[in-house]
């Protein structure tokens, strides 16, 4: 079986694929045009897909009929048309859990960085603009005993809540499709409606899976209902926020600050007005950027493809319904 890996990943994953007797191809340059990417896909049986710039939709599957499985190097799979993959009996793998701690670390980092205006003050030092002591300049806020609201209390959200409770004794509220009994028992988390979440949170952190229906979920009217001391954190997908409305909410002091590891589009333009604000911290989608997490992701993606090549069910499947008799 021929496997196309569109970008370099930790060597552990590539070694596993080759040890399993699979033919692996990695292009010499990684910034592929859509046309180049499509040609490579058309000549392979499986894709180990790194990044989310290309969509796996009906048009893709029509043009690449040789593709039998896709192993995503990510937890999120919003760039894959799962219904279309199911219709064609194509299992799609992802890499859940292995990056939960690393991604929650970044959410926790952003929360603190925004609360203390860390990136703004670091830039002042770099610019030689330390200045004299001013007891009222660019003050931050403390997080002790505040309310952390989580949209999507799954594995990553659980780790974020756990850290916040341990470090700052924060009160945890959350909104999910389903209640999380483990979090309610271990973290004393309280399930609330979406309206209650946005109205009660001092820090609101997004950890949900993104769907097209949730595009711009956080827009003007939602920011209007949030606390004026609220910090908005997003390490999930940039599509959740309307960034024009977020900027307006920040400069009009409807909310207090924002920390983003994901933007829309990505990469964010260096001209974005959000980058000029002292109460904003933006990172370039580094949630899983640790050696441990990225190596774990490589192993899981390789395991998915190897299992498929042996005729087995892939172990980390984003669309397990593909194996049902009616799919």
Q: Quote the DSSP letter at residue 48.
A: E
Q: Residue ranges of the alpha helices (H) in the chain?
A: 11-19, 34-42, 58-63, 82-87, 100-115, 118-126, 155-168, 181-186, 194-200, 220-225, 243-251, 291-309
pLDDT in tens, 155-200: 999 999 999 999 999 999 999 999 999 999 999 999 999 999 999 9
- The mean per-residue pLDDT over the stretch 302-316 comes to 98
pLDDT band at 52 (very low <50, low <70, confident <90, very high): confident
Q: Please, which pLDDT band fits residue 14 given cuts at 50, 70 and 90?
A: very high
Average pLDDT of the residues in 211-232: 97
Cβ contacts of 38 within 8 Å, gap of 6 or more = 60, 63, 64
Mean pLDDT for the chain?
96
Task: Tell me, yes or no, if the pTM score tops 0.75.
Answer: yes
Give one DSSP letter per residue of 124-170, joined into a string: HHHTT---S--TTSS-----TTPEEEEES-SHHHHHHHHHHHHHH--
What is the share, in percent, of the chain residues with pLDDT greater than 70? 99
Is the confidence at residue 15, as pLDDT, over 70?
yes
Mean pLDDT of 58-84: 96
Rounded CA-CA distance 117/168 in Å is 18
Catalytic site positions: 237, 266, 285
The mean pLDDT value for 132-143 works out to 94
Question: Higher model confidence: residue 132 or residue 260?
Answer: 260
Task: Identify the sign of the CA torsion 188, 194, 200, 201.
Answer: positive
Q: What is the pLDDT of residues 138-152, one digit of tens each?
A: 999 999 999 999 999
The C-alpha atoms of residue 202 and residue 115 are separated, in whole angstroms, by: 11
Residue 327 has pLDDT above 60, yes or no: no
Whole-number pLDDT of residue 31: 87
Residues 6+ apart with CB under 8 A from 208: 151, 152, 154, 157, 214, 236, 240
Q: Which residues pair with 204 in a beta bridge?
A: 149, 232
Say if residue 325's pLDDT is above 70: no
């Amino acid at each position: 079986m021929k496997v196309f890996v569109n970008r370099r990943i930790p060597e552990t994953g590539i070694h596993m694929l080759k040890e399993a007797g699979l033919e692996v191809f990695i292009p010499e340059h990684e910034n592929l045009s859509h046309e180049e990417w499509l040609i490579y896909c058309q000549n392979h049986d499986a894709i180990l897909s790194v990044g989310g710039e290309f969509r796996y939709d009906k048009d893709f599957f029509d043009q690449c009929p040789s593709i039998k499985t896709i192993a995503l190097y990510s937890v999120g799979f919003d760039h894959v048309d799962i219904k279309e993959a199911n219709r064609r009996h194509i299992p799609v793998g992802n890499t859940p859990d292995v990056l939960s701690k690393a991604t929650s670390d970044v959410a926790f980092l952003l929360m603190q960085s925004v609360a203390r205006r860390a990136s703004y003050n670091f830039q002042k030092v770099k610019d030689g603009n330390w200045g004299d002591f001013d007891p009222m300049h660019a003050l931050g806020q403390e997080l002790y005993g505040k309310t952390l609201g989580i949209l999507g209390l799954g594995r990553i959200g659980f780790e974020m809540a756990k850290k916040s409770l341990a470090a700052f004794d924060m009160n945890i509220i959350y909104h999910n499709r389903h209640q999380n009994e483990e979090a309610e028992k271990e973290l004393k988390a309280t399930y609330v409606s979406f309206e209650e979440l946005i109205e009660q949170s001092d820090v609101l952190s997004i950890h949900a899976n993104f769907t097209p229906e949730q595009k711009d979920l956080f827009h003007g009217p939602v920011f209007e209902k949030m606390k004026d001391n609220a910090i908005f954190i997003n390490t999930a997908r940039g599509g959740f926020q309307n960034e024009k409305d977020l900027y307006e909410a920040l400069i009009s002091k409807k909310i207090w600050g924002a920390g983003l590891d994901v933007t829309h589009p990505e990469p964010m333009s260096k001209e974005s007005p959000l980058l000029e604000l002292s109460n904003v911290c933006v990172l370039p989608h580094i949630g899983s950027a640790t050696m441990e997490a990225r190596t774990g992701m490589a192993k899981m993606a390789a395991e998915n493809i190897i299992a498929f090549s042996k005729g087995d069910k892939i172990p980390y499947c984003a669309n397990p319904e593909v194996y049902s008799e009616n799919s």
